[in-house]
C-alpha cells in the first residue's frame, strides 16, 4: 500500500521539475519581442496616405502612415516622431494625449500604422503652417524618411511656439 502514495509523489515531483526552466521561467516559449531588435528606418518601407484630407480651413483630416518591415523580425516600442516642415520651419507633431504607447513585434513583411490627425489651416494665414514635407522617424531612432505633404496648410495651436494643431496616435496592427 505504501508504494502507491510514494509513486504518486515521485510522479508529481517529476512533472513539476519538467515545467521549470533554468532562467526561472515557466518552461514555455519566450516572448519573441525580447529577442528582436528595434526596427530601423533602413529596414522598413513607409507609405503615407491615402488620406482623409481636411477639405477646408477648420476641418479635421486624417493621414495614415503605414510601416512595413522589410528586414528581420523587429520591435516598435513607443511612438514615431513626426515633423511637419515648411521651408526653414519645422514643427513636431505631439502625441495624442489619450493614446497609450504600444509595443509591437513585426515579422518580415508585417505591417502596422499610425494616424496623424490635423486641423487644416487657412492658406497663408498667420496662424497656419504652410507644410511642404512630412518627416517620419521610428521610436528610438534619429534617421528620418521624408514625404511630400499635399493636404494643405496646418493650423497652429500656438503661434508663438509653432505647435501644430495635430496629433499622432499609437501603432495599430494592419493586415492579417
Please tell me the distance from the alpha carbon of residue 36 to that of residue 30, in angstroms, as a whole number: 11
Domain limits for position 122? 32-173
Please tell me the distance from the alpha carbon of residue 175 to that of residue 66, in angstroms, as a whole number: 11
Mean pLDDT of 90-111: 94
Q: Is residue 9 part of a domain?
A: no
Environment class of residue 119 by beta-carbon count within 10 Å: exposed (0-12), middle (13-18) or buried (19+)? Answer: buried
**Among 86, 62, 74, residue whose Cα is nearest residue 169:** 62
Which residues, 6 or more positions from 160, have their beta carbon under 8 angstroms from its beta carbon? none
Q: Is residue 25 part of a domain?
A: no
CATH number assigned to the domain comprising residue 104? 2.60.40
pTM over 0.85: no
Per-residue confidence (pLDDT) for residue 174, from 0 to 100: 79
Q: How far is CA 72 from the centre of its chain?
A: 17
pLDDT tens by residue, 139-168: 989 899 999 999 999 999 988 888 999 999
Compute the mean pLDDT over every residue in the chain, rounded to the nearest whole number. Answer: 84
Q: How many domains does the chain have?
A: 1
Per-residue confidence (pLDDT) for residue 45, from 0 to 100: 96
Q: Is residue 123 part of a domain?
A: yes
CA atoms within 13 A on the CB side of 13: 6
Q: Is residue 166 part of a domain?
A: yes
Q: Is residue 49 part of a domain?
A: yes
pLDDT tens by residue, 21-70: 344 434 434 454 456 899 999 999 999 999 999 999 999 999 999 999 99
Amino acid at each position: 500500500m505504501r508504494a502507491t502514495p510514494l509513486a504518486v509523489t515521485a510522479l508529481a515531483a517529476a512533472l513539476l521539475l519538467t515545467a521549470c526552466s533554468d532562467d526561472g521561467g515557466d518552461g514555455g516559449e519566450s516572448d519573441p519581442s525580447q529577442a528582436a531588435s528595434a526596427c530601423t528606418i533602413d529596414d522598413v518601407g513607409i507609405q503615407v496616405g491615402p488620406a482623409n484630407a481636411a477639405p477646408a480651413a477648420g476641418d479635421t483630416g486624417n493621414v495614415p502612415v503605414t510601416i512595413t518591415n522589410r528586414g528581420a523580425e523587429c520591435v516598435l516600442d513607443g511612438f514615431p516622431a513626426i515633423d511637419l516642415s515648411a521651408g526653414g520651419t519645422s514643427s513636431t507633431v505631439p502625441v495624442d494625449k489619450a493614446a497609450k504607447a504600444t509595443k509591437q513585434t513585426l515579422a518580415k513583411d508585417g505591417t502596422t500604422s499610425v494616424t496623424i490627425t490635423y486641423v487644416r489651416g487657412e492658406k497663408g494665414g498667420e496662424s497656419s503652417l504652410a507644410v511642404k514635407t512630412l518627416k517620419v522617424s521610428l521610436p528610438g531612432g534619429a534617421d528620418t524618411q521624408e514625404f511630400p505633404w499635399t493636404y494643405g496648410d496646418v493650423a497652429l495651436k500656438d503661434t508663438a511656439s509653432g505647435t501644430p494643431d495635430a496629433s499622432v496616435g499609437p501603432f495599430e496592427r494592419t493586415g492579417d
